[in-house]
Amino acid sequence: MGAGELGVIAGILIPLGFFTMIFGIVYLNKREKLSMIERGMDPRSYKPQSAPYQNLKWGLLLIGSGIGLFLAFILDHSVFSNMDDETFFLYIALIAIFGGAGLFLSYRIEKKEVLDKEDATLQK
C-alpha cells in the first residue's frame, strides 16, 4: 500500500470517525435526558456530583510522578552512567511506583478525613 492510498483512506476514515464520535455523544446525551424525564427528574436541574478530593488526588499523583522521574534521572546519570539506552524501564518503573505511592497517600488522607467527619457527627 503506497502513501497515496493511505492518504485517501485516512482522508475518508478521519472525518467519518469524527462524525461518528459527535453523533454518539449527542445521541447518548439525549437518551440520558429522556430517561431522566421518564423517571420524573428535571434534566435542567441535574448537576454532576462533585469530587471534593479530586485536586488532592491529581496533585499527589503528579508530585509522585515528578519525584520518580527526578530520581530516575539522578540514578541514570550517577549509578547507571555506563549503560547507554538500557535505563528506559528504570524511568517507567520509578514514575509508576512514585505515582502509585502518591495515589495511596491520597487514599489515606481521604479515608482519614472521612473517618474524622464520621467521628465528629457521632460525638454530637
Query: What confidence tens digit (pLDDT) does each residue in 47-101 have?
Result: 777 778 899 999 999 999 999 999 999 998 888 888 767 788 889 999 999 999 9
Give residue 114's pLDDT band: very low, low, confident or very high (50, 70, 90): confident
90: closest CA among 104, 114, 107, 74? 74
Q: What is the pLDDT of residues 6-37, one digit of tens each?
A: 888 999 999 999 999 999 999 999 999 999 99
**Is this model's pTM higher than 0.85 or not?**
no
Rounded CA separation 42/79 (Å): 62
Q: What is the pLDDT of residues 33-51, one digit of tens each?
A: 999 999 998 888 877 777 7
Angle between helices 88-123 and 54-78 (to 10 degrees): 150
- 6: cell is 493511505
8 A C-beta contact, residue 103 and residue 59 = no
pLDDT at 124: 66
Task: For the beta carbon of residue 98, count every other beta carbon within 10 angstroms.
Answer: 22
